[in-house]
Chain A
Amino acid sequence: MSKKEWPLWEVFISGQHGLNHRHVGSLHAPDAEMAINHARDVYTRRKEGVSIWVVPSKEITASSPSEKGPLFDPAESKTYRHPTFFDIPEEVGKM
């Protein structure tokens, strides 16, 4: 067995110019350059992307499932943040 396992990287791909990079998966690679090469081979074999980002997995900080309530519940009661909350009379026209 090898002395050291290659570190894990998270892969983000932008499918088209102008679109967000989206998380597509992860892979092992010795460094960033090889991670991009591997990501090209694994995640863009069918022209799925025009740009790749790779990030060391250990550098990602994630919210914990137990924080779900305090983090996201407050938005639940604030329906006025959506445009559909407000009724605009038809006479006013498109708004």
Chain B
Amino acid sequence: MYAQLVKSDALKSREEMSPEEQAFQERIDNGEKIEPKDWMPEGYRKTLIRQIGQHAHSEIVGQLPEGNWITRAPTLERKAILLAKVQDEAGHGLYLYSAAETLGVSRDELFEALHSGKMKYSSIFNYPTLNWADMGAVGWLVDGAAIMNQVPLQRTSFGPYSRAMIRICKEESFHQRQGYSIMMKMAFGTPEQKEMAQDSLNRFWFPALMMFGPSDKDSVHSAQSMAWKIKMNTNDELRQKFVNETVPQAEYLGLTVPDETLAWNEEKQGYDFAEPDWNEFFEVIKGNGPCNRERLEARVKAWDDGEWFRDGLNAFAEKAAARRLAASVAAE
């Protein structure tokens, strides 16, 4: 998902827990929210910082593939809409960074970890956006996949994370719909436009499936995170749900999902589908995807180029505060 392969602790049994840990687990089991000042196991805090941080980084890096097309949107209206969507992603990053900061990590530390490659962001944003149809596919598939994960996370045990998710989910549905609206326009347009839409679906289908993370049988860190309610569903559950909802949407568009094995399974009331290439997934995570270098360079450049501006505003704020102090002393 937006947070893939987040390292967590091994699942502890009741007997292995300290009395404090038992009381903590009981609160979570009762559906209580954990707030920043409450006692929490160190593993819970650390896993959450990794997960929320990775999620925040994904929102911020996720602006880059779409920002690529703002200046080349086909109409002024499409441009304004895309701009609003990319601005939303910046806001989502901010909500999540703020939630992570309540756990005792600073914003600059999180940026530093992203820029040095110590923390990851979602693999999906390391794929290029080659043409306008990709703006449709990204909104429809990538935001669609994100929603699958974010809707259940509204019920997550950590209060600030849950509140950030509620806010994000309110805005995310606009993102998916604007993507699908682009896909409709293209798929029902000229044959060339339809071909572009099909090509885009072909390129984004498997990377979108990878967003949910490795198959459950290879996902070693899930059990403790699920007990802590910072992961609400398994990777395979969410992937299946996504495929079930997305295939009919592709059919409506008259587009073909690029998977010859795709078939409705009456018994499980869901589609059977091919797994993505997990080697490719691990390569992208390791930093060897088509755009990893470019994305990180763009982030670091934006941060470095903005330094004089951040410092300038700080200097101005200090000067203004000194002036206010001098004026109030003079008035006395």
Residues of A within 8 A of B (CB): 1-6, 8, 25-28, 30-31, 34, 41-42, 45-46, 62, 64-65
Interface segment among B208-216, B218-226, B308-316: the answer is B308-316
Chain A residues whose C-beta falls within 8 Å of the C-beta of B84 in the assembled complex: 45
The docked-state distance in angstroms from the alpha carbon of A26 to that of B99 is: 9
Beyond contacts A2-B108, A25-B94, A25-B95: 7 other A-B pairs, Cβ-Cβ < 8 A, are A2-B307, A2-B314, A4-B314, A25-B163, A34-B313, A41-B87, A42-B94
Secondary structure of the B contact surface, majority rule: helix
Of chain A, the residue at the smallest CB distance from B304 is: A1
Interface size on B, residues (CB 8 A): 30
Q: How far is the CB of A47 from chain B (nearest CB, A)?
A: 13
Q: B112 is contacted by which of A1, A6, A42, A65 (Cβ under 8 Å)?
A: A1
Residues of B within 8 A of A (CB): 35, 37-39, 84, 87-88, 91, 94-95, 98, 101, 106-108, 111-112, 163-164, 167, 171, 307, 310-311, 313-314, 316-317, 320-321
Contact A65-B316, Cβ < 8 Å, known A5-B108, A26-B98, A42-B91: no
Secondary structure of the A contact surface, majority rule: loop
Of chain A, the residue at the smallest CB distance from B306 is: A2
Flag if B310 contacts A6 (CB, 8 Å).
yes
Flag if A64 contacts B101 (CB, 8 Å).
no
Q: B317 is contacted by which of A31, A46, A64 (Cβ under 8 Å)?
A: A31
Which of B39, B310, B313 lies at the interface centre, i.e. has the most chain A CB atoms within 10 A of its CB?
B310
